[in-house]
Amino acid sequence: MRDTQRLMGFVSRGFRGKRRDTASSSRVPPGQYVVTDFPVLSAGPTPRVEVDQWTFSIEGEIDEPRRWTWKEFQALPTETVTKDIHCVTKWSKLDTSWKGVSVDTLMEGVETAAEFTTIYSDGGYTTNVPLDDITGNKAWVVYEFDGQPLQPEHGGPVRFLVPHLYFWKSAKWVRGIRLEKDEHPGFWESNGYNMYGDPWREQRYWGD
Amino acid sequence: MTQVQDMKLDGNAIAGLLREIFAVEMTTARGTCASCGAVNEVGRVEVYIHAPGTVVRCPDCEQVLMRVVHGRGRYWVDMTGVRCLEFAES
């Protein structure tokens, strides 16, 4: 059975079972369907990072780059947020609960000429997001999902969360934010996927 | 819980995709990794398809060999990770 699934490619738990949730259609962007499970998407092997080796950095267009160890990061003020998330592969998941640190907290007092950012991760993944889209109570660096430590397959120990954009922007295994004057396309944005990725405008691909 | 090991396929999983792009049998083509120089048949590479696109990685160093995005009736193919692709004429 497993071999059959492999040969059939896109048949997997994550892509099966379209459940239409008409009651919540005003919360579901065009072309999306609601799932109740949590599909796992990955562009490579899952990094295994020990938290005593983990750090989070803000670098680039900043006079004094900032860096937190795991212990320092855990001591920062946290927020628990409940958000709908929208994957470009067309599933949406409603009312997901996350705990972590607001990017506003991490950026407090930072003066920068940057207008863009690259979010970068263990394993080499990157994604580009305008600075205005990760500040102003719009993005978090999270380490709990649904009250539990974030599992490695969902990006643990720590992932990015910018729920108003397609979920590929919410980078798993996140390690830092690079502040940039110019926009540098990330892993998917350099190969067909939209630079901005607004699910409500269906900005999936180049030219959308 | 999804077993992470299940997410990695071998190169035979992209046989159909490569036939669409290259229109010849490609699983016996040999690619040179631009990162580490290893030469591997397509059938041996590591493939991740549960993602916004298909990601092909070198089995020796795990660097990206190819990325293929398919949408809106178009393909976007990145092969900067493949220094040389060798295959038989059809």
Domain membership of residue A50 (yes or no) is yes
**Nearest chain B CA: its distance from A70 CA (Å):** 24
Q: Which residue has the tokens 């590479």?
A: B45
Note the pLDDT tens digit of each residue in A47-73: 998 999 999 999 999 999 999 999 999
Distance from CA of B50 to the nearest CA of A (A): 5
Q: How confident is the model at residue A29 (pLDDT cuts 50, 70, 90)?
A: very high
Instruction: Tell me, yes or no, whether A31 lies in a domain.
Output: yes
A8 assigned to some structural domain: yes
- pLDDT computed for residue A7 by the predictor: 38
The per-residue pLDDT for B23 is 84
| A108 pLDDT higher than 80 | yes
Interchain contact, A6 vs B13, CB within 8 Å: yes
State which residues form the domain around A39. 2-201
Per-residue pLDDT band for A4 (boundaries 50, 70, 90) equals very low
pLDDT tier, A12 (very low <50, low <70, confident <90, very high otherwise): very low
- Domain-embedded: residue A206: no
- Per-residue confidence (pLDDT) for residue B5, from 0 to 100: 63
In this prediction, residue A158 carries a pLDDT of 98
| A15 pLDDT tier (thresholds 50, 70, 90) | very low
ipTM of the complex: 0.86
Any idea what the CATH number is for the domain that residue A98 is in?
A: 3.90.420.10
Burial (CB count <10 Å: 0-12, 13-18, 19+), residue B20:
exposed
> Which residues of chain B carry a pLDDT beneath 50?
1
User: What pLDDT was estimated at residue B3?
Assistant: 57
**A70-107 per-position pLDDT tens digit:** 999 999 999 999 999 999 999 999 999 999 999 999 99
Confidence of residue A30 (pLDDT cuts 50, 70, 90): very high
Number of domains in chain A: 1
- Domain-located, residue A49: yes
Three-point CA angle A12, A13, A19, nearest 5°: 120
Task: Enumerate the residues of chain B whose CB falls inside 8 A of the CB of residue A191.
Answer: 53, 67, 69, 76-78
pLDDT tens sequence across A160-174: 999 999 999 999 999
Cβ neighbourhood burial of A176 (10 Å; 0-12, 13-18, 19+): buried
Give the C-alpha separation, A21 to A25, whole Å.
Answer: 6
Task: Identify from A2, A42, A151 which residue to disrupt to test chain B contact, counting B C-beta atoms within 10 A and taking the largest count.
Answer: A42
Distance CA A192, CA A201 (A): 17
What is the chain A residue with the closest CA to B54?
A: A43
